[in-house]
Amino acid sequence: MSDVPQITSMNALPVAIGDATFLPEARELVLADSKVVLEPRLADLLSYLVTAQGKVARDELLNAVWGDEGSDEALTQAISKLRRHLGDEQRPYRIIRTIPKFGYALDGKAINLAHVEMVQSVPDTNQSNGALEKQSKSNRSFYQGIAVGVGLMCIVILLYAVLNRPTQVELEREMILCPPDAPPESCAKMLQQQS
């Protein structure tokens, strides 16, 4: 198996794959409007497919990328994730093709960008995440302010209720002057006269 491409010996130059650019050293997949940092195994799998330049057997991919830890399910899931990142989710697949009873093949449109100048600047998702983070902090501060205001209002209402409730002496005086069966109007007059 000396002709099997090694992941470590792969050229680290950018590669155009479909509408995306793969940056092997950074393990990034750059799309028209975003940048995705690939999990290490996904990046290794994509690197291997690019380096192999053709059909690759499932067992070969498993051995090269996962070693003894690999399984058919892990490979299938990884291929599915790569297709999703590449926007290749509709059958028939255009970029990573399934070779029945054998393995996979990266479409022949993978172009090494060694001599192609990258003209388009891609926005860094970390910068847009920073804007989202600021907005999130602003929203959080707003809701924290509302919570503090509501809490203070509850404390004021409780203090008012505690401080303005009648004392035991007032309650006893009211009970003496106004028996339970007395009409409310006469009780009010008696209490006003006593005050």
In a domain, 9, yes or no: no
Give pLDDT, residue 152.
92
Same domain, 57 and 105: yes
Distance of alpha carbon 97 from the chain centroid:
29
Report whether the peptide linkage leading into residue 92 is cis, meaning its omega lies within 30 degrees of zero. yes
**One domain, residues 134 and 119:** no
28 and 116 in one domain?
A: yes
119 lies in the same domain as 133? no
From first to last of its 195 residues, the chain has per-residue pLDDT tens of 444 444 443 456 788 877 788 888 888 888 878 888 888 888 888 888 888 777 888 888 888 888 888 788 888 898 888 888 888 777 777 788 888 889 888 875 555 554 444 433 444 555 555 555 666 667 777 888 888 999 999 999 988 888 887 666 666 666 666 777 777 777 777 767 766
What is the reported pLDDT for 172? 66
CA 169 vs. chain centroid, Å, equals 63
| Residue 169 CB partners (closer than 8 Å, separation 6+) | none
* Per-residue model confidence (pLDDT) at position 176: 67
Read off φ and ψ for residue 30, nearest 5 degrees. Answer: -100, 120
How many structural domains comprise the chain?
2
> Tell me, what's the pLDDT at 130?
57
The CATH number covering residue 77 comes to 1.10.10.10
> Are both 137 and 118 inside the same structural domain?
no
Contact, 143 vs 136, CB < 8 A? no
Quote the domain boundaries for residue 119.
15-123
Q: Could you tell me if 39 and 116 lie in one domain?
A: yes
62, 44 contact by CB (below 8 A): no
**Residue 112 confidence (pLDDT):** 54
Same-domain status, 149 and 188? yes
